[in-house]
Each structure stands twice: as C-alpha cells, then as structure tokens.
A and B are shown apart, each in its own frame.
Chain A
Amino acid sequence: MLVRILQRIAQSAALLFAIATIWFLALSLAPGDFFDEARLNPAASPATIERLRVTYGLTQPLPIRYGHWLWSLAHGDLGESIAYREPVAALLPPRCANTLLLTATSLVVSWSLALSLGIWAGAKQGGLADWAVRALAAILLAIPELIAATLLVYWAAHSGAFPVGGKGDSVSGLASHMALPVLVLTASAFPMLFRHVRLAVSETLAAPYIRSALSYGISPARLWLRYVLPAAANPLLSLFGLSLAALLSGSLLVEVVFGWPGLGPLFLDALFARDTYLLLAPVILSSCFLLAGNIAADVLLLWNDPRVAKDSP
C-alpha cells in the first residue's frame, strides 16, 4: 500500500512538472510582454524599455529563460514580479492566507450542512422534509455562481447591508466582508455534497446486512455509528479529498467579483499585465493543492476501506 502511495506521489510530481512547463511555454510563446504598455508612454524612450527588457531577461532566447526558471524553481526561488518589483515569494503568502480563509470557511460550512441534512434526508426518504431539501439543492445547483455573486454585490452596494471589496480591519469587519463570498461558495458547493451524502446513506440503508442487523435488535446508535456511517463514508471520503484539492483554485471567480484580496484578483491582474513569474507561482501552488487533494482522497479511502487495496491492481 505504501508503495502505491509513493508511486502516486511520483506520478503527481511528474504531472506538476508537465503543468508548469506547459504554462511557461504558453506564456512565453504568447504575443506581447510586460513592457508593451510602457511603449505607449511617450515619457519612456525605446532605449529605456529595451534596457528594462534586458534587465528582466526578456531578450534572452526561450530555452535559456526556461533553464534559468527551472534552476531557480528547484532552489525554491519563484522569481520576481515585474509589476510589483518584489520577489513573488513575498507577495504570495498574504494572498494565499486570504483565499484559504474564504475557502476553508465555506468548506466547513458546506460540509456540515451537507452531512447533517444529507444523513437526515437519507434516513427519512420520501418524506416532506426530504422533498423540500432536495428541491432546495436542485434550485441552488441551477443558480450559476457568477450570477449569484454579481447580483449579491449589486444588492450589497445598493442597500449598504454588507460592505463590498477588501477584507476589513477588525474581526467584525472581516466577518461582514466574508459573509457574502462564503454564502456564494457554500451555495455552489452544497447541492452536490448533499446529493452524494444522501445517496450514500440511502444506498447503505437498503443493504441486506442493515436489515439483518436491525432484526437482531441492535440499538440505533450502534446501527448508525458502526454499520451505516462507516460504509456510507467511502464515496464521501473521495469527495472530501476533491474539496481539499479545490481550496486554492475554487474561489477565483468569487474573489474577483467581490474584490476579495486573495489569489484570484492577483492572478487575473498578472494575466492582463503578462507578469510571467507572478502568474506562474499561483498556478504551481494551486496545482500542488490539486494533486495533494487527489492523493489525500485515495489515502483516506484506503484507510477507511481495506477492500479497496485488494481490489485495485
């Protein structure tokens, strides 16, 4: 089992290298660079711009740039942002922290809601409450994140009920700034999670061994904790790994709409400005999360269900 996990990590590392290389090539081969806009500025002479391009190594041939970049990357140096004139490694941590604050909160909220409502609806299938929550999930699923976020921003700016943009200074300010983005992220994550939880619970409850356990007359607490939930947890553990994987990348759009100072706006600005190294760092970082989350999903599954290790060759 350990060997398999190690293999999986090696595969992911290779994939990470491929992703980083593809992005580097895409950005380098794309037309234009950071100083294109400076050329329109009459105050900057062509000689100055050319000197700046030399300083930032933009005039070197592609293979040499790629080699330099890989070499620095291997030494933990993410490069320097041209726009901010700062090392990328210094710019990222506060942005990452903000993004994680948002996504981790919504992960906790959406999973607690999905688990409690999903187990409840799965146990009381066919009832009015089950129907109501399922209808709610179907409606929430159909509302696009972009539309919900945009309309909420409009409403907040209009009514003044919630602040828009930034993250606030005090704790209460932070909470009021976070409320709407977290609401949108939760509403978009909840329906799928809820459906999976409900399906897993209802499928487990229908299994023959549950019926026989019931006929032995065991207590409801033991039935749920020992028989139903561990068996129902299997698909949910993979799903949880995928939720972890999306921690750095899942909120990009919502951050941009709400003006939250996370990775999303930084990434988009860097894309517009063609600030190559500032753009590559979040890509690599969130790809790491993505791959780690996928591995975590598999490890959790192996840990919960020894049958899996036997089944998959």
Chain B
Amino acid sequence: MRRALYLAIGILCGALLLAPVLAPYEETAQHRDAALQPPTHLFLFGSDEYGRDLFSRFLYGGRSALLAGLSAALAAVLMGFAAGALAGFYGGWLDAALMRISEMFLALPWMYLLLAIRALLPLRVGEAGSLAITVSVAALSGWPGPARLVRGIFLAAKQRPYISVARYLGATNAYIITRHILPEVRPLLWTQAATLLPQFMLVNVTLSFLGLGEGEPHATWGGMLASLRHFSVLEAHIGYWVTAASIGLVLFLLQLAVDGRVKLSVRKITIQ
C-alpha cells in the first residue's frame, strides 16, 4: 500500500520535473480558435480562455512549485542542522539563545512571515522573486523543528566515549561534527525534508493564488486555482475543475505519504 503510494509519487514528481519534455504544448502557446475547450485527446485537461492547453500548464506550474518546494525544504533543513548543531555541540548561552529564538519562530504563523517578506518586495515579482520568497519563508518558519531534533542528537552524541577519544587524538570540532555525528543525523534530515516538502509547495501555491507570486503569462498552480474564482466558471467550464482537482490530488498524495513519519509532540512549557 505504502510502496504503491511512494511509486505513484515518484512517477508524478518525475513527470512534473520533465514538464518541458512531456508537455504536448508550450507553456504559453495560445490557440485562440479553441478557447475553453472541455477535456479531449487534443487538450487532456481542456483549454483556458486564451486557448492554452491546461494539461501543459499543469505540468509547468507543478514543475515550478515542486522546484520551489524542494529548494525551500533543503534550505530549512540546512538551517535547522546548522542551528541544532551549534546549540547541541557548543551548549551554554548559544544553546539557550538559539532555543529561545526557535520557540519564537515556532509560534509564528507562516502566513504572516510570507506576507511580511512579500511586503518588502515590489508588487510584481518574477520566477526568481517568487522562489526567493518561498525559500526565505521556508527557511525562517521551517528551521526550528529540525534544529530541536538535531540538537537532541548532538547532546546525546557528545556524551559518547568515542567522541572523547577522537578529541584526545586531536580531531577538530569540524571533523567530529562531519565525520562522527553527521552520519547519525542524516536520516533524520531526510525525513524532515520530506515532511516539509508538501507544506512548502503549498506556500508557493498560496503565494501565486493570492496574486503575490509569479504572474501571467507563466503557469502557476496558484494562478490556475484562482481562475476557479473567476465568473467564467459559472458557465460550467469543466477544464478548470479538472486542473484544480489534479493539483489537489498531487498535494494530497504528497501529504499522505509523509504523514505519520514524525511523532506528535506538543510544545513543552516555556515559562522561565
């Protein structure tokens, strides 16, 4: 069951990444004489009001959302690793300060971070700007989780005899961290990155949904979802619906696959 789910997701993500090869049409190619077509063999998901193939745009939009999600998850995990390693390895005031800051960011809703960072940039941003926003929101809101787990592993690892031996033999801190403790942390980092991926793809989709991310004529999942709010859908245009449902299905499967990979934990009391 789970294996089938992973396989399906692997194929889906592969298809999205290969959008330029697989898409039957260019991202922005218009066929004005075939606007608002229902799904047919020519237009798998139908076409939009400019006669653009919704299936091709679904693939291209998914590609940019997936790439943004992947780089965002990577950024958050790297930052979490750095903070957790510093806090766990060096301890003391650095540890206390980093943990206090991480609590602050844990309590902050990501939507606010998204809008605050968005407010810093001009009203229209391109693909690079949209990617930068997603990655910075992700790094800022996603690092505390991994950081706390990494810190825990570092605290435990520091106590082990082979670390003392390594230090006695003259190993530097950097050597101990990368050669002796990193292998222990690595599987955790991968799971964390996987669980963060669907969330951050959703951040990217939300950004373009609100009209704050990358805009037309580029294909974005958020933009395609937003077109469901347009009055033209009242004319029962099935294509938009199919596209939105497919976007929902991909995000649903991704979230379902990573669900249950991390244990539940309620925030501990922080009164000082």
A296 at the interface (CB under 8 A from B): no
Residue of A nearest to B231 (CB): A157
A7 to B271, CA, bound (A): 8
Chain B interfacial residues counted at CB < 8 A: 49
B118 touching A245, Cβ below 8 Å: no
A196 touching B228, Cβ below 8 Å: no
With beta carbons under 8 angstroms apart, the residue of B209, B211, B255 that contacts A146 is B209
Give every chain B residue within 8 A of A297 (Cβ-Cβ).
267
B residues 177-205 in Cβ contact with A at 8 Å = 202, 205
B119 at the interface (CB under 8 A from A): yes
A157 touching B272, Cβ below 8 Å: no
Chain A interfacial residues counted at CB < 8 A: 62
**Contact A312 to B272, CB < 8 A, known contacts A26-B119, A146-B225:** yes
B229 touching A150, Cβ below 8 Å: yes
* Minimum Cβ distance to chain B for residue A202 (Å): 12
Give every chain B residue within 8 A of A288 (Cβ-Cβ).
none
A150 touching B228, Cβ below 8 Å: yes
B115 touching A271, Cβ below 8 Å: yes
Residue of A nearest to B209 (CB): A146
A253 at the interface (CB under 8 A from B): yes
**Contact A253 to B266, CB < 8 A, known contacts A143-B252, A151-B244:** no
A142 to B249, CA, bound (A): 10
A20 to B267, CA, bound (A): 25
B71 at the interface (CB under 8 A from A): no
Give every chain A residue within 8 A of B271 (Cβ-Cβ).
4-5, 7-8, 298, 302, 308-309, 312
Question: Which stretch, A166-174, A209-217, A234-242, touches the partner chain B?
Answer: A234-242
What 1/0 mask marks residues of chain A from 280 to 313 whose CB sits below 8 Å from any chain B CB? 0001001000100010011001100000110111
Question: Which stretch, A27-35, A74-82, A125-133, touches the partner chain B?
Answer: A27-35
A301 to B206, CA, bound (A): 35
What 1/0 mask marks residues of chain A from 137 to 163 whose CB sits below 8 Å from any chain B CB? 011011110111011011001100000
* Minimum Cβ distance to chain A for residue B113 (Å): 11
A22 at the interface (CB under 8 A from B): yes
With beta carbons under 8 angstroms apart, the residue of A5, A142, A196 that contacts B255 is A142
Give every chain B residue within 8 A of A239 (Cβ-Cβ).
266
A294 touching B107, Cβ below 8 Å: yes
What 1/0 mask marks residues of chain A from 1 to 42 whose CB sits below 8 Å from any chain B CB? 000110110000001000000110011011110000000000
Give every chain B residue within 8 A of A7 (Cβ-Cβ).
271-272
A4 to B270, CA, bound (A): 10
A70 at the interface (CB under 8 A from B): no
B251 touching A147, Cβ below 8 Å: yes
- Please provide the 5 A-B residue pairs with the shortest distance between their CB atoms, ordered closest to farther: A147-B248, A142-B255, A235-B266, A142-B256, A4-B271
A sample of 8 inter-chain contacts (CB < 8 A) reads A144-B251, A249-B112, A253-B111, A283-B116, A294-B107, A309-B271, A312-B269, A312-B271
